[in-house]
Chains A and B, each alone.
Chain A
């Protein structure tokens, strides 16, 4: 029931209640202009320290309260944030001009000291955002509103992740005892776990982790609000059915995510609709190419996945369109590379290997496995959209070329404990999703395709241990190449090698699905950050 009809009803009921209602609305402030956005997400917002966890959802939430030197606009293009402008003086020196007149929520001024402080804090031992700036970069205060960054090696994508590296207030942090980032290994929690002081359009009004968080507009904000909100109430709702029900019942205005199977239902309701679009996350399958023998296979004495033809046979056995239509209900975008189409200008030059089980069978036979073989597959069941169902589909498709896959699907906490470095990369065949934090190919080439040792040095998320020195050499050059055309050409070369060798099987970009009441306007960026400063309640 909206406030206005409520007031009308009260007037209909008689004068005494009307007076009471008027008094109540006076006490509550003007009810007609209170625009509250009630938002529910499947996960929780934990500690409020913006350097504690490098995770999209938390960083997106903090992005309403804090700001970085740069921002990303609605199309993910880098735009000025707390830095008005910047110039690359020479390949090793960047100069940032800071915005003047910016105040933190507590009224403190923002200036170069805060930037230097934030640069030290984000590199502190307990920070989880150390990758935001090079560990060996030097930060120099030129004057109150100019900062110079001195690098040891050229880095054209230095500022690519600075939209989520938020500027903190030096005075506030020192006064609150929040100089070093809150970490799980602290024996006593720092105040930054439940306090915040940013320059952003909103501020935290209250925060009960796992229960409820209330945001209020920041009256000291330097910018012009594009939203019309007076309050945002965030509640985690973990259970899918309850989250959808809360939206349909009108108890919340916005939910993330809507399970794929509930999208028709949300669209069918006259008051709600689903907001869908491609996400930057790419789902892929990978092979153990490191061990000399697969622990879970009946092939002994050799590792079939070391043969590129076997990998290509698997690739051609996967019917990506069937997965899109049946498993993802058309909410996926098949991709030829391990990076989302939006993030690499040259992705249009690449094509997936065609779906062709006959060719796959032949490749397997030529490789010496005419009757196929057995292998186990590891898969999370609560991490990506329909992850387990994708794996099941792949298992049945691979059966058609004679490969018997034993599926081991388990919750992400156990899956990652097994397949990452601490578990000794204990997997022969797996499904993994990846979003490059920097939204750039170099991140993909190193993390997913860099040669690694047993502890993960080199390519920590290259679970299968694919290794091609040429790709590594290209990645090293790409990192320092400041000429965009040359850089893109080298990226193209690296991806060509990986595609020809079938280093992995890229599957698709999954889709974002938010549910909202129809009177809400909000921008859905492919990075899945929920940003209130573009939200309107109509």
Chain B
């Protein structure tokens, strides 16, 4: 595996994904090594249980391997594709296992993480930095609704019960927050 370490380490994400379909174990190692922190990070953030998160992360790579041929680079990066797979699996697991998708302390902790803006993160990815700033600029109740829906997969009804607010208010918070972030992304796209 060391034989291929450096060259495969420099291969593009798309090339590694396509190479995964050949069944070459060295490519599989390189692919997993590149994305395992991201995939596991999504899984653990949603489910909070390391054992379950590992199982979800493993399933994510298995699914990516099985469906690599339908990946379409025009619809997003390999990273985003994998993240979405992991997220969907994690949400399914949460819905299957827990009546309450999130504990209040977990929500606040995650909200702090996604709105925190350490310099190195801002420098690492401009798009993420802009989204992070946009989330941080939201009224707290809108940001909570957005995180509950977008990350924990909670429906408006669940958010209404969790926050003890009318259903219409929960829907409005999700809608307003999402549209504000869309405006942020749209502004960024128009600048490029």
Asked whether A and B interact, the reply is no
Chain B: residues with CB nearer than 8 A to chain A? none
